[in-house]
Amino acid sequence: MEIISDPQEMQSLARQWRGQELKVVLVPTMGFFHPGHLSLMEYGRTIGDRLVVSLFVNPAQFGPQEDLGRYPRDLDRDVRLAREVGVDCLYTPEAEAMYPPGYQTFVEVESLSGGLCGASRPGHFRGVATVVLKLLHQVSPGVAVFGEKDYQQLMVVKQMVADMDLPIKIAGRPINREPDGLAMSSRNTYLNPEGRAAALCLYRALLAARDLVAAGVKSREPILAAVRQIIDATPGARIDYVALVDPATLKEVGAIRGEARLLLAVWVNKTRLIDNTLLSETRLCCVQ
């Protein structure tokens, strides 16, 4: 496995691969790999000839009061895990190389970035869209793979790729969960044992919503009320937002017609967790 930190070196390797007509797949990450990341990589491995995993804790997507400084990092472990999965290139650019002095270009995906996590974390998606565009430009993949846990991020990236006419497929992959249902996230490492137990309220709330839909409930109020009740009854948990949205536009819907996405952001003590599920009027869907 190659480990490259210089963007120009990355671009030249990508150019070489393109010249050999190899299909390159990119999995962008911020490192501290968990099985969710590894499953994205394993999927990436199966759909292309060369797999690049980028590892960059992107300062541009963290607000001034957020956890950039304490975001978990373990490069040696990540290198070992990436090797085990069969990654061809681990791309680890430095912040100074991505945003050198004088850097001033940012990407805004306007409407999709505005609400939900964008409302709670102003500037977050501007940072995400900017770094993802740079990574796509540096690696030139045919496909880039993202997890559906960050559902709004996935939609923002898809829109950006379409708007910028990039010839790149964005593949969304199902959420990976711990055996008890907690969505895998690097931020789960912030939780103490009580917080870890409280964090299960997100999954329980999604299951309750799914059960209501399976029982024929379609309108927004009873679904959101059930979700809120479960989270509000959990000591240490505080709702940031609960939203039932159109899966494509992320606009709030009054009822499930066809499909809707239920999105949650919940503070568990000082850790903000997100989770979501598809709710389908017709399809019996499981909470992934």
# chain residues binding ligand PAF, by CB under 6 A: 10
Question: 3-state DSSP call for residue 40?
Answer: helix
User: Residue 82: CB partners within 8 Å, gap ≥ 6?
Assistant: 1, 33, 41, 53, 90
Which position among 10, 14, 17, 28 is part of the footprint of ligand PAF (CB under 6 A)?
A: 28
Tokens of 99: 């945003």
* Known catalytic membership, residue 137: no
Q: Rank residues 177 and 218 by Cβ distance to ligand PAF and give the closer one.
A: 177
Output the smallest distance, CB 287 to ligand PAF, in A. 20
Tell me the pairing of strands 143-147 and 169-173. Answer: parallel
Bridge partners (DSSP) of residue 143 are 25, 169
**DSSP type of residue 105:** -
Q: Which stretch binds ligand PAF (CB under 6 A): 72-80, 126-134, 211-219, 224-232?
A: 126-134
How far is Cα 237 from Cα 230, in angstroms, rounded to an integer? 10
DSSP 8-state code for residue 148: G
Stretch that binds ligand PAF, among 12-20, 125-133, 195-203, 226-234 (CB under 6 A): 125-133
Closest distance to ligand PAF from the beta carbon of 83 (Å): 20
Contact 23, 50 (CB under 8 A): yes
Is residue 78 near ligand PAF by the rule CB under 6 A?
Answer: no
Among 58, 92, 130, 277, binds ligand PAF (CB under 6 A): 58
Stretch that binds ligand PAF, among 4-12, 26-34, 82-90, 103-111 (CB under 6 A): 26-34
What is the rounded distance in angstroms from the CA atom of residue 74 to the CA atom of residue 91? 15
End-to-end CA distance of the chain: 31
Q: Which stretch binds ligand PAF (CB under 6 A): 109-117, 128-136, 236-244, 265-273?
A: 128-136
- Considering the complex, what minimum distance in angstroms separates the CB of residue 30 from ligand PAF? 4
Q: If binding is defined by CB under 6 A, does position 29 make contact with ligand PAF? A: yes
Report how far residue 244's alpha carbon sits from residue 246's, in angstroms, rounded to the nearest whole number: 7
Which residue ranges make up the site for ligand PAF (CB under 6 A)? Answer: 28-30, 58, 61, 128, 131-132, 150, 153
Active site residues: 37
